[in-house]
Amino acid sequence: MGARLWLWPNLLSLDAPLVALLWQTLFIRCFHASSQVLTPALLVSAVWLIYAADRTLDAWSGSGLRPRHEFYRRHWRVVLPVWTAVLALACWLAWTGLPRPVFEHGAWITAAVGVYFVAVHATRRKWPKEAAVAVIFGLGASVAAWTRVETRADVITVILFSCLCWINCVAIEHWESGRNDFPVALLSACVGIAAIVILVRDRPILGCAEALSAAAFVLLDLRRLKLSADALRVLADAALLSPIFLLPLAGSAF
């Protein structure tokens, strides 16, 4: 597969783990939650395992026709032993190294992931896949900070981040299909405005990060006709990298 260099992180399912890691770090620092070396490593592993499995199953069922699905259709024999090893190592590290509250919260999210895979891949019903992915992704990226979620604003930060993840998933699906019936710009603007108005006092850094990502989606939607499907796919995930700009301002919890 002669993919362009900038497309490889997407093909290898490395873009989503990076997004999750950045937001996890921002949540931990803004909430002043405790963290261990294992916490980011396990999040990255879990997100990669989920995305690699999801795309492989889509490829096998014939429901995935994008380059990322074609990659797993061709190379699943190489990916499978790596996937199995990562799963075994991640399970052992989580069981032996995570604090009990984080482990228990992670177990609930793992159960939700299991339900997702059964619902999407073991049945023929049409499920709201993008919404499910967004909720699980948002909860997973923030789970390490749950012990310090104390106010309504804290909860809203997680909800708005999940909304951004949902916009990301649905926008990619529509952009790649050439459809224009999903109001990406409008919904993104609503999320951005909500982040600024609601979070400006209590969670300004998280609010700014979410507003920046929302603004990036607005710009992408306005420019979508001038960009290729591959470029839109990569840039849609890049739009969620806004914590890069805010992490230096966030209080360190390490």
Q: What is the mean pLDDT of residues 156-173?
A: 95
Q: How confident is the model at residue 252 (pLDDT cuts 50, 70, 90)?
A: very low
**Mind spelling out the 3-state secondary structure of the chain?**
CCCCHHHHHHHCCCHHHHHHHHHHHHHHHHHCCCCCCHHHHHHHHHHHHHHHHHHHHHHHHCCCCCHHHHHHHHHHHHHHHHHHHHHHHHHHHHHHHCCHHHHHHHHHHHHHHHHHHHHHHCCCCCCCHHHHHHHHHHHHHHHHHHHHCCCHHHHHHHHHHHHHHHHHHHHHHHHHHCCCCCCHHHHHHHHHHHHHHHHCCCCHHHHHHHHHHHHHHHHHHHHHHHCCHHHHHHHHHHCCCCHHHHHHHCCCCC
Average pLDDT of the residues in 141-156: 92
Q: For tokens 């993840």, what's the residue?
A: 165
191 touches 167 (CB < 8 A) = yes
Distance between CA atoms of residues 164 and 214, nearest Å: 7
Task: Establish how many alpha carbons lie within 13 A of residue 3's alpha carbon, considering only the half-sphere containing its beta carbon.
Answer: 18
User: Rounded distance, CA 166 to CA 226, Å?
Assistant: 23
Question: By the 8 A CB rule, do 203 and 27 touch?
Answer: no
- pLDDT exceeds cutoff 60 at 17: yes
Question: Given this model, what pLDDT does residue 249 score?
Answer: 87
Q: What is the pLDDT of residues 48-80, one digit of tens each?
A: 999 999 999 888 877 666 878 888 889 889 999
* Nearest of 135, 133, 155 to residue 206 by alpha carbon: 155
Whole-structure pTM value: 0.91
Tell me which residue has tokens 């948002």: 138
Q: What is the distance of C-alpha 213 from the center of its chain?
A: 13
Boundaries of every domain in the chain: 7-249
185-244 pLDDT per residue, tens: 999 999 999 999 999 999 999 999 999 999 999 999 999 889 888 888 999 999 999 999
| pLDDT > 70: percent of the chain | 95
